[in-house]
Structure 1
Amino acid sequence: MIILAATPIGNLGDATRRLVEALETVTVVAAEDTRTAARLLQALGVANRPRLVALHDHNEKERAGQLVELARERDVLVVSDAGMPTVSDPGYSLVAAAAAAGVAVTALPGPSAVLTALAVSGLPTDRFAFEGFLPRKPAERAQALSALAAEPRTLVFFEAPSRIAQTLDDMAHAFGADRAAAVCRELTKLHEQVRRGPLGELAAWAAQGVRGEIVVVVAGAAPRRVPFGDAVTQVLELTRSGERLKDAAAEVAEATGHSRRELYQAALAVKN
């Protein structure tokens, strides 16, 4: 089968027992960087020397088929440089190819920069959206942020230290300088830091220079308060397009801040 294995995002002590056991027994490891994988084996004291196969953004589509065929006969362990493969890392094309070919895929859970940053951010965690890295080109980045400005869920991004100041400044312009956020750097490492505050303040702080691996967590947009009558109209328009009244009321309630129950009852009275 294909085995996706999460690796430490900084602190080597976060390596799970299942990861170590798998590394000690498998004969093939598909790695984002074979040199990093070799260092991991050494650091964990693994005596086994499996065959290391490079699986990265530039060769994954071509190599996926080969690895799937190999996984019909033996286990193929898949690792990225840090965290869980497929999450902003190679592995998606391989899993899709394995699923299409009827080859089993499983995962060894473990460290995740996304969930670690979300947990320590101090921002709502009940609903969130992971956006990965934003586009590098300014115009494309501005467009992507503009599309997310009204997103009510907490947003999680990855960013490079060389671009973090500009990205936070762009976020302040797109989301508002007062939008709450947290910059999480060097998670699980010796110099771990979580800087919380409004986007405008964080952008000014980052302008002085920030180092290390960075995850940015941004609060979702506050519900737009619209007149109750207009909200009821929105519910009715959604039902006319085929949506159930209950679902339409819930959707509009989330977007406007009005009571779902009151919207449902008002719309039902109109329909009757």
Structure 2
Amino acid sequence: MKGKLFLIPTTLGDSEIDQVIPMHIQQLIPDLKHFIVENIRTTRRYLKKIDRNINIDELTFYELNKHTSPNDISGYLNALKEHDMGIISEAGCPGVADPGADVVKIAHTKDIKVIPLVGPSSILLSLMASGFNGQNFAFNGYLPIQAGERAKKIKQLDNRSINEGQSQMFIETPFRNMKMVEDLIQNCHPSTKLCIAADITLETEYIKTMPVKNWKNNVPDLHKRPTIFLIHRDK
């Protein structure tokens, strides 16, 4: 393959491009004509924010979602025989809790050079700001929806945090955030520390860590706000 595959970060929300996307990436993007993206419409909007002079009609987009098969992805990567390509996810860094990982996996089997570019990751930024163990941590994605299974999982993660010294991280669908906090308060040990990190890098950013028992009457409105939850209990 002649081309290189660039993993291009995007904003975590409606934040200023210059505050979160390094200039060398802003200068690189207009040179690319082929993109594998999670959502074509939002990617077009993002590219126009990067450079209003980009001619969107000259670009080729390959959509990546839960229905995209490995054969489709291999076909997308054929463009690398002649061109560099970029992967852009809906928010943050491609390949981290993101379907872009499937593209990168196949790219390595084809001996394609993969180049990750610096950008905002809500997972790393929330961990940095939590005060929790940054040497031993786990991102668990979404927890079970069913009440009994969720309670069991929360207790499991709480125990793992104290037994292994491991910071536990997870997310929820934004419209269920308030229920998540309620479940954490009910199922975590009162002394377990809970960090709630919402709207990271936005003007409405909220990041706070304190024991679960102290959250009972201090929960902010998290409805429909992208949020990462972290728990950790010291021995």
Decide: shared fold, TM above 0.5: yes
Q: Select 1:64's aligned residue among 63, 73, 78.
A: 73
- Report the counterpart of residue 250 of structure 1 in structure 2: none
Please report the TM-score for the alignment, with normalisation by the length of structure 2: 0.84
Q: 1:133: how far off?
A: 2.1
Is residue 4 of structure 2 the alignment partner of residue 4 of structure 1?
no
Runs of 5+ consecutive residues of structure 2 not aligned to the other structure:
none
- Report the counterpart of residue 82 of structure 2 in structure 1: 73
- Aligned mates of 1:147, 1:216 — CA distance in 2: 15
Change (3 A) 1:20 1:159: same
C-alpha contact (below 8 Å) 2:32/2:84 kept by paired residues: yes
- Aligned mates of 1:63, 1:83 — CA distance in 2: 24
- Report the counterpart of residue 101 of structure 1 in structure 2: 110
- Aligned mates of 1:17, 1:60 — CA distance in 2: 34
Change (3 A) 1:58 1:202: farther
Structural mapping, 1:131-170, within 5 Å: 131-151=140-160, 152-170=165-183
Is residue 225 of structure 2 the alignment partner of residue 222 of structure 1?
no
C-alpha contact (below 8 Å) 2:144/2:150 kept by paired residues: yes
C-alpha contact (below 8 Å) 1:179/1:199 kept by paired residues: yes
Q: 1:205: how far off?
A: 3.9
C-alpha contact (below 8 Å) 2:177/2:224 kept by paired residues: no
Q: 1:37: how far off?
A: 0.6
Cα shift readout 1:69-105 (whole Å, capped 9, x = no counterpart):
2223321100111111121111121111111222222
Could you list the structure 1 runs, at least 4 aligned residues long, displaced by more than 6 angstroms after superposition: none
C-alpha contact (below 8 Å) 2:158/2:192 kept by paired residues: no
Work out the number of aligned pairs and report it. Answer: 222
The secondary structure found in structure 2 opposite 1:171 is: helix
The secondary structure found in structure 1 opposite 2:74 is: helix
The secondary structure found in structure 2 opposite 1:163 is: helix
Is residue 27 of structure 2 the alignment partner of residue 18 of structure 1?
no
Structural mapping, 1:135-214, within 5 Å: 135-151=144-160, 152-202=165-215, 204-206=217-219, 210-214=223-227
* Rg comparison, structure with higher value: 1
The secondary structure found in structure 2 opposite 1:53 is: strand
Q: Which has the higher helix share?
A: 1
The secondary structure found in structure 2 opposite 1:149 is: helix
Q: 1:211: how far off?
A: 4.1
- Aligned mates of 1:88, 1:100 — CA distance in 2: 21
- Report the counterpart of residue 31 of structure 1 in structure 2: 37
- Aligned mates of 2:221, 2:76 — CA distance in 1: 45
Over aligned residues, Cα RMSD in angstroms?
A: 2.2
Q: 1:165: how far off?
A: 2.5
- Aligned mates of 2:226, 2:183 — CA distance in 1: 19
| Structure possessing the higher relative contact order (Cα contacts under 8 Å, 6 or more residues apart) | 2
Runs of 5+ consecutive residues of structure 1 not aligned to the other structure:
224-272
Please report the TM-score for the alignment, with normalisation by the length of structure 1: 0.73
